[in-house]
Structure 1
Amino acid sequence: MSERVIAPKNRGFLFLDSHPGGCEQLVEEMWRAVPAQAPAGGEGPVALIIGSSAGYGLAATIAGLARVGIRGIGVCFEKAPARRTGTAGWYRTAATARLAQQHGRDMVFLNGDAFSDTMKEQVAGLLADRFGGRLDYLIYSVAAPRRTDPDTGNVYASVLKPVGSPHTTKTLVFDEHGVPEVKKVTTAPAEGDDIEQTVAVMGGADWERWITFLADRSLLADGFTTAALSYIGSPLTAAIYRQGTIGAAKAHLEATARTLDERLGKTVGGRAVTSVNAAAVTQSSTAIPGIALYVGLLRGVLGDAMVAPIGQLVQLWDQLTDARPLVLDDEGRLRLDTWELDSAAQQAVADRWSTATSDTISDLADLDWFSGEVRRLYGFSVPGIDYTTAVETDVAWPTPTA
């Protein structure tokens, strides 16, 4: 037993500990937010969620379990409790596994490097031995700083940089007392092989490797469908995101989708798409210059009209399972971001962006919502949780039942 009081300690948007009780309750709230849930038990479709513990990958896992009744495997990379608490994703995975079991869903969670062939072998073995040797769906949602190529052993590192010239943008920070500040930051442009390195990590290479690995072992079911989760975003953030090194990786991901779609259509009557999701506060997005300011202003404009990740992923599953028509744009992308990129909303955000300063930001952005969302990523600021009470931090990784 290792019960203790967990107080939030952070450096900017990064928190040093996570709260198990808060993480668990957030997962339960996401599950309850899924409408028209599938009946408990049953032999639902077999799905593999790569990046299942955080952000859109977590939403994909919970929406798939609750809405569609999937069974299958979630893959993520989280740290166990030790001197510090476990990562928030560790506790969220434990909570997701408990809910899956309560609802009769056979869901196995694996903790390790999704880029490695060792993990691919482990997943392939489980699909063959536990899930009838077939996979119906694969959702790919990986945001990582680096990747080791299994063939060469080369380690690639992704960077957040503009392409061509330095880029100066406004960004939102909070000082040590929690006071918001709007600052200007300048990011140096990509140099050397920065673009190639970022594409090697965040592009479509590993997604395609997963499909090839499983196809070579005859594990893809007839009609197999796969989706990689992506983002385009606003013109306000385009220079550092869509037109930057990460944007080059996203373009590679989309090109990979078109290649895979043609290949899967010929081999198993399947399909591959990228799903362009809309803005949200995630552990990955808060690291991108300007994104925090943009999302806070977007919330200030739209309020509750913003669609949370769990709502977006319900829409994704509905389209992937043909519960509603699959609607793609001219590039073959499934778009869940139309509400964000609505011209009136974008103009309103742009107007606020232009006048945003440290003095005006509290009137322009929903800072209470934004800072609360950041804290909730780590299980803090969750209604109903008593943060003065000791909580068990030594939570075991979920072990699948027989």
Structure 2
Amino acid sequence: MDERVLTPRNRGFLFLDSHPAGCEQLVADMWEACPAPASASASASAPVDAPEADRPVALVVGSSAGYGLAATLAGLKRAGIRGIGVCFEKAPTARRTATAGWYRTAATADIARAAGRDLVLLNGDAFSDAMKDQVADLVEKRFGGRLDYLIYSVAAPRRTDPETGTTYSSVLKPIGGVNRTRTLVFDGEGVPEVREVETGPAEGDDVEQTVAVMGGADWERWIDHLAGRGVLADGFTTAALSYIGSSLTAAIYRQGTIGAAKAHLEATARTLDERLARTVGGRAVTSVNGAAVTQSSTAIPGIALYTGLLRGVLGEGLVPPIHQLAALWDQLTGVVPLALDDEGRVRLDTFELTDDVQTAVAERWETATTATVADLADLDWFRAEVRRLYGFSVPGVDYTAPVATDVPWPDHTTDSAR
């Protein structure tokens, strides 16, 4: 058993190692923060105290981080699901720890086991047909051939099309011109700096490449694959997680290459919704979530500054992902009616986009400089949130103690709550 004391080593917002105990505690804290079902008959799918075999079966694609992790934990606790999570994480080596998602997945498996939930967690390429076949096999053999829900939460730099073998790469670029924006960085001592960054416009097939990775093509392929295997239950419901955000970040995000991919995702939802209604009496929606500090969001120019300022305005009113996803599960399972905007999207971001909040954030954005940002943004919170992505700065963890890093991946072949 490899045990060592781990200290954070990072390059900007990217950390080279992850802390297993910190990741475990983070998952436990999310589980504790998730609201329990309101009553034993809260879910329209099945009562929360129903036998395991009667619980809804769900698949979460992208289950180890960010909103996908929140969807998995909230699904287990709030909606009483069982089922499958799919993610892509790296194992520990002699030189490096595993990725944070590896340790979060191990902790999620422990929580599911303790709660008596049959949860299978698979590590591999969610874009591949081999993974889709593995999931369909599990649904057939382990979960009675019935899948009730699919949550799609994938952010990736590349995708290989299983049919053509072509590999596409996503980019973060504005469309139509250069974008200049301010962003937040920290030096090696943790001192904040507000910098202006310039991002050149999309060129060539940048938009098409990004849409091929981050749009709705793979989500639709999952539905095609599972429908072809005949495992979609009557009333099957699927949601893809998305983000719109503020006008302050729109040029690089919603109006940029990633925004084009999100628009494709929403168009795919409308197509799938019509199809599922016709074939299984089901639904397909996109869920627009509010801002959060995630490994994906920290890579987007301007988002770090915006999120820190937003927290400065909202404080504890900034709704964490676990609460947002609990609310989504309530809508998907019928605890409360499915509330959609004019574009057919579930909106979990209303706390962020009210006029008064956006006006306050915009005022701070205009005056934020290296000298003033500490008074305008919640930098202590933001720094801690970034570190917690990798298992550091988690309250209750002794970071002076050696910790085992070679945590095994959960073994679903022998460990079942069936």
What's the TM-score, normalizing by structure 2?
Answer: 0.95
Confirm or deny that 1:289 pairs with 2:301: yes
CA distance in 1, matches of 2:397, 2:365: 35
Confirm or deny that 1:74 pairs with 2:74: no
After superposition, what is the alpha-carbon deviation per residue over 1:288-314, rounded to whole angstroms, capped at 9, x for unaligned? 000000000000000000000000000
SS in 2 for 1:334: strand
CA distance in 1, matches of 2:284, 2:300: 28
Identity fraction in percent: 76
SS in 2 for 1:237: coil
After superposition, what is the alpha-carbon deviation per residue over 1:246-295, rounded to whole angstroms, capped at 9, x for unaligned? 00000000000000000000000000000000000000000000000000
SS in 1 for 2:196: strand
Note if contact 2:100-2:389 (Cα within 8 Å) is conserved in structure 1: yes
Alignment match, 1:177 = 189
Matches within 5 A, 1:3-402: 3-37=3-37, 38-39=48-49, 42=52, 43-82=54-93, 83-400=95-412, 401-402=415-416
SS in 1 for 2:410: coil
Shift of 1:41: 5.9
CA distance in 2, matches of 1:339, 1:355: 23
Note if contact 2:6-2:19 (Cα within 8 Å) is conserved in structure 1: yes
Q: In the superposition, relative to structure 1, how do residues 41 and 2 fare at CA in structure 2: closer, same or farther (>3 Å)?
A: farther
After superposition, what is the alpha-carbon deviation per residue over 1:64-122, rounded to whole angstroms, capped at 9, x for unaligned? 00111100000000000112000000000000000001111000000000000010010
Q: Report how many aligned residue pairs link the two structures.
A: 402
Note if contact 2:63-2:72 (Cα within 8 Å) is conserved in structure 1: yes
> What runs of 5+ residues in structure 2 fail to find an aligned partner?
38-47
Note if contact 1:40-1:104 (Cα within 8 Å) is conserved in structure 2: no
**Which letter maps to 2:296?**
S
Alignment match, 2:44 = none
**Which letter maps to 1:28?**
A
**Which letter maps to 1:112?**
G
SS in 2 for 1:127: helix
> What runs of 5+ residues in structure 1 fail to find an aligned partner?
none
SS in 1 for 2:184: strand
CA distance in 1, matches of 2:411, 2:359: 49
CA distance in 1, matches of 2:140, 2:378: 48
**Which letter maps to 2:69?**
L
CA distance in 2, matches of 1:382, 1:339: 26
CA distance in 2, matches of 1:13, 1:61: 25
SS in 1 for 2:69: helix
CA distance in 2, matches of 1:340, 1:138: 26
Shift of 1:39: 4.2
CA distance in 1, matches of 2:119, 2:381: 32
SS in 1 for 2:352: coil
Note if contact 1:6-1:387 (Cα within 8 Å) is conserved in structure 2: yes
**Which letter maps to 1:374?**
V
SS in 1 for 2:180: strand
Shift of 1:40: 8.6
Note if contact 2:35-2:323 (Cα within 8 Å) is conserved in structure 1: no
**Which letter maps to 2:406?**
D
Shift of 1:36: 2.1
CA distance in 1, matches of 2:35, 2:124: 32
Note if contact 2:60-2:85 (Cα within 8 Å) is conserved in structure 1: yes
**Which letter maps to 1:275?**
S
CA distance in 1, matches of 2:374, 2:32: 32
SS in 2 for 1:300: helix
